[in-house]
Structure 1
Amino acid sequence: MKVIKVIETRAAGADHQVVTFESSTEGGRCYRRKPCKKCPWRKDSVGEFPAEAFLHSARTAYDMAQSVFSCHSTGTDKPSTCAGFLMRGAAHNLSIRLSYIRREIGDDLDENGHELFESYREMAIANGVDPDDPILKPCR
C-alpha cells in the first residue's frame, strides 16, 4: 500500500509548482527507467520549467541529500524518482545510494537516445539559474 504525505508546495513561476512529499511503498522505490518527454535532465527540454523550479529542487543534488528529484509527469498520485536524476544527479544522494544498496533500483536505466545534462548545476544554469546563485554551490 502506498502512503503519500505532502510536506511542502512551492510556486515556481505562474504555471508550475514544486511539491515535496514523503512516500512509502511496500516492495521498494518506484522509479522511471527512461527520461520522459519533457524531462528537465534532457538537453532538448530546456525552458520547459522556470528557473525558480530548479532553485527549489537544488537540494536533491547536495551531498548526502535525503530529498529526491521526482518525475514531474507521474505527479503525486503515482510518484516515482526521475530517470534523468538517477542517471546524472543522484550519485551523492543518500536516499538513492541506500535504495541501490537495498536493490530497490536496478541496472535498467536507459537514456533512450537523449542527451542529458551531466550535473544538476549544468541543468539549472541552462534553465536560467544564475551560475553564482549560492543555492547551487553545494550541488554536486
Structure 2
Amino acid sequence: MPNSKARITEIRPAGPDHQVLTVEGSKSSSYRREPCPDCPWCKDSTGIFPAEAFRHSACTAFDLSRNIFSCHQSGSKKPAICAGFLLNGAANNLSVRLKLHKGEIADDVVDGGRELHESYRAMAIANGVPENDPALARCRDA
C-alpha cells in the first residue's frame, strides 16, 4: 500500500549539502534489515554527515521519544527506519517499542558485519558534536 499520507513538516539545513527532514503522517512500518552503504551508525561512515545533522536528530534517542531515525536513502515519500538505529539507538524509543510490540518490526535486523557506534551520543560525538552539547543532554545511552 503506498505511503500517501507521509508529509514533510520541517526542513532543517545541516550544512551546504545536507538537511534533516521531519516526516509525519506515515503509517508505514517499513524498516531496513541491514545498514545502507553510508549509514551514519556505522563507524566506517564517520565524517560523511555534518555535526549539525546529528544535533537535529538527537531527539530520536531521548527517553520515550516518538521521533524515529529514518534511513536517509529511503527518502521522504517511503520512509523506512534506519537499521543502525534499530540495532543501537532505539531501545528507549517509544514509537519503535510500540512497533515491536505490535509485530511491525521483527528480529531480523543485522549489522552486515560492520562495526556500529554504541549509542546515538557516541555517533554524534564521533561526527563532531561536542560531548557537552545541549542537543545531546537528553539522549539515552542504554
TM-score, structure 1 as length reference: 0.96
> Whole-Å Cα distance in 2 between the matches of residues 21 and 15 of structure 1?
19
Matched to 1:19, the amino acid is L
Residue in structure 2 matched with residue 29 of structure 1 by the alignment: 29
Q: 2:109 maps to which residue?
A: 109
Structure 1: runs of 5 or more not aligned: none
Q: Which residue of 1 aligns with 2:79?
A: 79
Q: What is the distance in 1 between the residues matched to 2:7 and 2:37?
A: 27
Amino acid at match of 2:79: P
- Structure 2 residue runs of 5 or longer lacking an equivalent are none
> Which deviates more, 77-86 or 16-25?
16-25
TM-score, scaled relative to structure 2: 0.94
Structure 1 Cα separation of the partners of residues 77 and 131 of structure 2: 34
1:1-140 to 2 correspondences below 5 Å: 1-2=2-3, 3-25=5-27, 28-140=28-140
Aligned length: 138
Identical aligned pairs, as a percentage? 57
Distance in 2, matches of 1:114 and 1:24, equals 29
Report the residue type matching 1:105 in the other structure.
I
Deviations 1:77-115 (A, max 9, x none): 221000000000000000000000000000100100000
Deviation, structure 1 residue 5? 1.4
Amino acid at match of 2:45: S
Tell me the SS of whatever aligns to 2:22. Answer: strand
